[in-house]
Amino acid sequence: MDRLTRGLAAGAAGTTALNLVTYMDMAVRGRPPSSTPERSVERLAGVVGVDLGEGERAENRKAGLGPVLGFGTGLGAGLLYGLLAGRRRVPRPVGAVVLMGLAMLGSSAPMTVLGLTDPREWTASEWAADVVPHLAYGAVAAGVYNALR
């Protein structure tokens, strides 16, 4: 199995873990889902000139495309890790931290550039709500990548 395929599989597994931890956090704390993915879709559509439609149709498109951005980020971080790691045996803890960082950068940087968030202004609980799922992403993705070697 080549490194890009391993990276994709690892990114998919990591994304599943991230989503599971996020949904469990919502259930335990009783918090609502983040609106940032939908706002990202809306902002990106405006930047590239795509009409999402009106009313309920536009809201449904944003609700569908928001998670697609997250899957793209998770798969992309896995692919990039596959390129970076190559054939090297990266220790799982190091891989987990690198993958966590790639996923966090891939999600937060575009939203920051789009003016939707500013991590410098996040509270401790907002940081925890972001770091913990991304750490789950990194741990699972690194484990899968190493297991597929």
Mean pLDDT of 97-120: 94
**In this predicted structure, what is the pLDDT of residue 86?**
83
Q: List pLDDT tens digits, range 44-64.
A: 999 999 999 999 999 999 999
Euclidean distance between CA atoms 138 and 15, whole angstroms: 9
Q: List pLDDT tens digits, range 3-32.
A: 999 999 999 999 999 999 999 999 999 999
Mean pLDDT over all residues of the chain? 95
**In this predicted structure, what is the pLDDT of residue 83?**
95
Mean pLDDT of 110-120: 92
pLDDT at 1 over 80: no
**In this predicted structure, what is the pLDDT of residue 87?**
84
Token couple for 121: 């202004």
- SS3 annotation, 9-41: HHHHHHHHHHHHHHHHHHHHHCCCCCCHHHHHH
CB 136, CB 21: distance < 8 Å: yes
Mean pLDDT of 81-103: 94
